[in-house]
């Protein structure tokens, strides 16, 4: 079955460093992937969508890559800040509004 997997281990980094989160997909080839941020007790917030032919997309300090050979998307936060601490979710959307999410990776940025 179609599956999206993220590293379930929390990522701890120092303020100012670049955080890199990984999303792997198996058993299918999505035409695009989406990344969301979720704070504790809150709903996910959409960040970026990248299509398979875009390879890389940027938004302020955020960068997403899409490698169809490795079946992987990488999500980078440069110059990370404690306010970036949250859980980051990778997702693929299907027709009919169905989003398939990975389990999310918790990021903690220490001052």
> Applying CB under 8 A, which residues contact other proteins?
4, 6, 8, 32, 41-46, 49, 89, 91, 93-104
Tell me how far, at minimum, the Cβ of 15 lies from other proteins, in Å. Answer: 26
Select from 80, 44, 87 the least CA-distant residue to 62. 80
Tell me how far, at minimum, the Cβ of 16 lies from other proteins, in Å. Answer: 29
Query: In terms of CB distance, is 24 or 101 closer to other proteins?
Result: 101
Provide the 10 A C-beta neighbour count for residue 100.
16
Tell me how far, at minimum, the Cβ of 49 lies from other proteins, in Å. Answer: 6
């Amino acid at each position: 079955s179609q599956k999206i997997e993220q590293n379930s281990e929390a990522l701890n980094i120092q303020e100012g460093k670049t955080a890199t989160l990984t999303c792997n997909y198996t058993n299918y080839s999505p035409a695009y992937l989406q990344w969301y941020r979720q704070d504790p007790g809150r709903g996910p917030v959409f960040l970026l969508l990248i299509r398979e032919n875009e390879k890389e997309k940027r938004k302020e300090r955020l960068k997403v890559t899409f490698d169809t050979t490795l079946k992987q998307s990488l999500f980078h936060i440069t110059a990370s800040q404690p306010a970036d601490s949250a859980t980051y979710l990778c997702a693929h959307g299907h027709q009919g509004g169905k989003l398939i999410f990975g389990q999310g990776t918790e990021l903690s940025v220490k001052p």
